[in-house]
């Protein structure tokens, strides 16, 4: 079997230190900012020459927390509650023969100078902080936006955003620029689809803090931010 080695060209930096809470697809959290920091070999402003004419990027990256030697021809998509098996190539599951992922992100800023320059600030990323990126390609509207394309079992954005309740004194424990993003994350219900225990307290790391919450019906209550 042929095999190929890829170089890590960059890593992403953001407020997601663990998988729990990361958006399930790119473009959902449009206000959250992430920074693409290039590895030393690729810290050359010329690699981004001409990029300022584009609005969006494709990121090709590695599911670095799901690398394994085995694979299965079928997986259980969270979108279907984890109860139905589909072919691995009919899903975007992270459990794949090759742990490669892709995300479409919006370019917010391009910094050509600085200690780690060049850097790209993007929004809408669904990558955990420090995720290795193996390629970056510009988004081409005429080729990448297919009118009338079918989306199968994931053809629309999931409905039923939760109502988030958080005491003001808890929310103030986060920097002001992270509060709105946290609320948007919680509205999307970061729990696994197959878990629905109103007495269970969930927790995840975000922006250097630990966020804990419970969900009862359509109401998500933040119990603490530490």
Domain check: are 88 and 180 in the same one? Answer: no
Task: Count how many domains the chain has.
Answer: 2
Q: Which two tokens stand for residue 20?
A: 């729990």
Q: Which of 18, 1, 9, 10 is CA-nearest to residue 202?
A: 18
Top-confidence residue, 149 or 55: 55
Q: Is residue 190 part of a domain?
A: yes
Q: What is the DSSP string of 82-124?
A: T-S-EEGGGS--S--SS-EEEEEEEEEEEE-SSTT-SEEEEES
Domain check: are 34 and 132 in the same one? Answer: yes
Domain check: are 84 and 178 in the same one? Answer: no
Where among 144, 177, 211 does a domain terminate? Answer: 144
Q: Which of 130, 150, 134, 127 is CA-nearest to residue 98?
A: 134
Q: Is residue 198 part of a domain?
A: yes
For residue range 157-168, list pLDDT tens digits in order: 665 589 999 999
Q: Is residue 47 part of a domain?
A: yes
CA distance 107 to 119: 11
Domain check: are 119 and 35 in the same one? Answer: yes
Q: Is residue 156 part of a domain?
A: no
> Residue 53 belongs to what domain range?
10-144
Chain center to CA of 149: 23
Domain check: are 112 and 174 in the same one? Answer: no
Domain check: are 133 and 191 in the same one? Answer: no
pLDDT grade, residue 27 (50/70/90)? Answer: confident
pTM, to two decimals: 0.86
Domain check: are 117 and 37 in the same one? Answer: yes
For residue range 65-122, list pLDDT tens digits in order: 877 888 899 988 877 777 789 999 998 888 899 999 999 999 999 999 877 789 999 9
Q: Is residue 25 part of a domain?
A: yes
**CATH number of the structural domain spanning residue 37:** 2.40.30.70
Question: Positive or negative, the Cα torsion across 179, 184, 185, 191?
Answer: positive
Domain check: are 125 and 32 in the same one? Answer: yes
Q: Is residue 82 part of a domain?
A: yes
Domain check: are 127 and 209 in the same one? Answer: no
Domain check: are 95 and 178 in the same one? Answer: no
Domain check: are 134 and 28 in the same one? Answer: yes
Q: Which of 149, 62, 138 is CA-nearest to residue 105?
A: 138
Q: Reply yes or no on whether the pLDDT at 25 is more than 90.
A: no
Q: Is residue 154 part of a domain?
A: no
Domain check: are 173 and 204 in the same one? Answer: yes
Q: Is residue 39 part of a domain?
A: yes
């Amino acid at each position: 079997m042929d095999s190929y080695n890829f170089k890590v060209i960059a890593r992403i930096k953001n407020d997601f230190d663990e998988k729990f809470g990361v958006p399930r697809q790119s473009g959902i959290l449009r206000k959250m900012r992430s920074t693409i920091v290039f590895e030393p070999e690729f810290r050359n402003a010329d690699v981004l020459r001409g990029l300022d004419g584009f609005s969006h990027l494709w990121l090709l990256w590695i599911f670095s927390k799901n690398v394994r030697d085995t694979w299965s021809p079928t997986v259980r998509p969270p979108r279907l509650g984890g109860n139905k098996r589909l072919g691995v190539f009919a899903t975007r599951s992270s459990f794949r023969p090759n742990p490669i992922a892709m995300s479409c992100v919006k370019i917010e800023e391009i910094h050509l100078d600085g200690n780690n320059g060049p850097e790209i600030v993007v929004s809408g990323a669904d990558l955990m902080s420090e995720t290795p990126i193996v390629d970056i390609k510009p988004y081409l509207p005429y080729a990448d936006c297919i009118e009338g394309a079918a989306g199968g079992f994931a053809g629309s954005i999931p409905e039923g955003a939760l109502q988030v309740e958080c005491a003001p004194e808890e929310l103030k424990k986060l920097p002001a620029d992270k509060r709105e993003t946290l609320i948007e994350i919680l509205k999307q219900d970061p729990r696994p689809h197959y878990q629905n225990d109103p007495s269970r307290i969930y927790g995840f790391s975000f922006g250097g803090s630990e966020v804990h919450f419970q969900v009862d019906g359509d109401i998500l209550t933040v119990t603490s931010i530490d």
